[in-house]
Each structure stands twice: as structure tokens, then as C-alpha cells.
Amino acid sequence: MKTMKFFLLISFIASFISLNAQDVSTPNTDEDSSLLNLPGDNLDLYAVLSLFQESKTIEEFEKQLNDEKTGVNNLDLNLDDNVDFIKVESKQEKDDFMFVLQVDVVEGETQDVAVIMVAKDKEGSVSIQMIGDEELYGKDYVIEPSTEIPAVTANPAYQGADTVVVESAPATVVVIESEPIVQYVYSPVYVPYYPPYYYGYYPPYYAPYPVISISFYSSNHRHHHNHYHGGHNRGGNTVVINNNNTYNNYNKTKKSSNTVNRNNNSGNYKSKNPSNGSSKGAKATNKQKGNVGNTKSAPTNKPKAQPKAQPKAQPKAQPKAQPKAQPKAQPRSRPNNQNSRSTARPRRR
């Protein structure tokens, strides 16, 4: 009987381990299905809008957006495997604001990435929308914050040690007017921000950092999608721009890059989507799988090249040049001079 229980325990542990192994090795197809296969996959607008609402000023928002620690920016439009610097340009028409995200792809070419629109109606209610550029996100890619936080539902089957009863809380309404960035732009101290940066000239805090793979990037920011609605998954809802006139005026002056157009038409962005490109995330997956042979080949060649070059060059050059030149020149010249002197003296006598 004990032997039977032992074998049952072993089989249960083995099946449990195999199930966990399958969960780890099986990719999440739901995440991959949400990708656009466009350059915008490297910049999650849900995460960008969340960062915008948490920022106190436009300058702070621009700095946090380009900070490697936040991990929000993973955009690489010029395909140099480094994250592009995104600058934020401010525009204002009375109580309507637009904050345009731009990238100087190459010298003399600027690409608009997205625009954040903040508007106030006659009743004083403030709305926020973010619209992705059609070349990077496709047509009608509009997201906006959800104004309600879903209710918290207690688990009736909970049987843990904690005896505190958790009551269901009603849904709460998020007041956009109370957010730091909204209070700032509508305050008397607000001054429109115009970034002084351009291609090759960036702020001191910014340093280019490598792009990570789309699979890692999208999984890191998946949680931001719970607080917003929109994108291309609007559930059949019609796309409505809150301030259509201001947005139409923006379309007349928005900037587009020829380099981005060529890369889009050639499918260069798709070749690196989701994780086919040479990126930091792709290299990490190779190391996890044990493909580390290529990464170790570079260090092993360096120590062999230096010891062979230096010992052979110095010993052969100096010993052969000096001993042969001096001993043969002096002995021949001196005896000849002495003979000429000896023959000259007898003739004078």
C-alpha cells in the first residue's frame, strides 16, 4: 500500500512539472494577435498616455518618455538598432492643446509619431485623446482614458487565514481635471514648450540605448491597456475626435519622413517584427536557449592576436642593425690613414 502511494505521488509530481513546462514554452498567441505589424508596435501609446497623465510638466513628460528606465520608448524608425529620441512640441488654440510627438529620423527629415489632444468644453469638462500617426499605427488609431475604475468583487470561495471580510466596492469615476498635467496646462504659469533639439543634438540626460524585441516590450506594457479604450479594438464603435477642427488644422502641417515611407513600403519594419531583428531582447532569448557559442567567439580571438605580434617584431630589428655597421667601418679607415702618414714622412726627410 505504501509503495502504491509512493508511485502515485511520483506520477503526480511528474505531471505537475510537465504542465508547468508546457506553460513556459508555449507562446502567448493573444499578445501576438494584438500587434499591428507596423512601426508603432515599438511605442505603446497606452503606456505613453499613462505617462503623460502622470507627468507634472511637458518637459518632464518628454524626459520620462526618453528615459531607458521607464521602458516606454522602444521606437527605431531609422533602423540603427538604437531607440530614437522623441521630442514633444506644444500647440495651443484658446482652451485646446495639442502635444505632437516627433522623431528626427535623419538629418532634415522629421516624422510625427502621435498627437495628444487636450480640450475643454463649455461646461469646463476636460477630455484627452491620443491619435497615432497613420503611417505608424494605421488609420483611426485613437485611444482615450477610461473614466471609470471597475468595481472590486470579493471572492466568496476564499478560505485563507485572513478572516477580514472584503466588501465589494462600487465603480469610481476618474476626474481628468484633477490630473497633474491637466492642472498645469490650464494654470496661469503654463508656457508653451518648444523643444530646441534636432537630429544629432539631444539633451544631456539622453543617451541612445538598444532596442528590445517586440515580444518583451509588449508584455512589459500590457497592463496599461486595462485603463484605456480605443485603438483598433473599439468593439464596433465609431471613431470620434473630440476636437475635430483642431485636428484637421494639425493634419495640414503634420510632418512625414521619406525614410519612414521607404521602409514601410519595403517591409523593413515588418522584418524586425515581432522579434526577428537584432535586438537586446532577441539576444536574451538565445542565451536562455543555450545558444551562447557566437557570443563567446569574439573574446577568445583577442588574447591570441596580441602575444604573437609583439615578441617577434622587437628582438629581430635591433640586434642585426647595430653590430654590422660599426665594426667594419672603423678598422679599414684607420689603417689606411696611418700608412699614408708613414710614407709621407720619409719623403720630407
Tens of pLDDT, residues 50-81: 999 999 999 999 999 999 999 999 999 999 99
Question: What is the per-residue pLDDT for 349?
Answer: 40
Question: Residues 313-333: what's their mean pLDDT?
Answer: 50
Q: Which of 170-179, 224-233, 306-315 has the highest mean pLDDT?
A: 170-179
How many Cβ atoms are within 10 Å of 235's Cβ, its own excluded? 5
Dihedral (C-alpha) 16, 21, 22, 23: value to the nearest 10 degrees? 90
Q: Please state, rounded to an integer, the average pLDDT across all residues of the chain.
A: 73
How many Cβ atoms are within 10 Å of 222's Cβ, its own excluded? 16
Phi, psi of 105 (to 5 degrees): -65, -55
Whether 257 shows a pLDDT value over 70: the answer reads yes
Mean pLDDT is lowest, of 69-78, 186-195, 224-233, for: 224-233
| Residue where the block lists cell 494577435 | 33
* Local structure of residue 92 (DSSP, 8 states): E
- Using CA atoms, how far apart are residues 242 and 95, in angstroms rounded to an integer? 13
Give the CA distances from residue 303 to residues 312, 314, 315, in Å, rounded to whole numbers and listed in that order.
Answer: 16, 19, 21
| Residue where the block lists cell 503606456 | 47
Render the burial of 80-107: b for 16+ CB within 10 Å, e for the rest: eeebbbbbbbbbeeeebbbbbbbbbbbe
The whole model's pTM is what?
A: 0.64
Per the document, the length of the chain is 349
Task: List the beta bridge partners of residue 102.
Answer: 87, 112
For residue 112, the surrounding DSSP H or E stretch is strand 109-120
| Residue where the block lists cell 464596433 | 236
Question: What is the per-residue pLDDT for 275?
Answer: 46
Return the amino acid letter for 132: G
Question: What is the per-residue pLDDT for 240?
Answer: 79
Question: Residues 219-248: what's their mean pLDDT?
Answer: 67
Question: What is the per-residue pLDDT for 37?
Answer: 85
Q: Which residue has the higher pLDDT, 283 or 193?
A: 193
Question: What is the per-residue pLDDT for 343?
Answer: 43
Question: What is the per-residue pLDDT for 244?
Answer: 83
Give the CA distances from residue 81 to residues 92, 230, 274, in Å, rounded to whole numbers and listed in that order.
Answer: 35, 30, 14
Q: Which residue has the higher pLDDT, 228 or 199?
A: 199
Q: Which of 129-138, 166-175, 267-276, 292-301 has the highest mean pLDDT?
A: 129-138
Question: Residues 120-125: what's their mean pLDDT?
Answer: 89
Spatial CA neighbour of 116 closest among 150, 80, 92: 92
Question: What is the per-residue pLDDT for 297?
Answer: 36
CB under 8 Å to 136, separation ≥6 — which residues? 38, 39, 40, 43, 111, 113, 114, 260
Whether 148 shows a pLDDT value over 60: the answer reads no
Whether 112 shows a pLDDT value over 80: the answer reads yes
**Confidence class for position 227, pLDDT limits 50, 70, 90:** low
Strand ranges (E), 166-263? 172-173, 228-231
- Using CA atoms, how far apart are residues 113 and 125, in angstroms rounded to an integer? 27
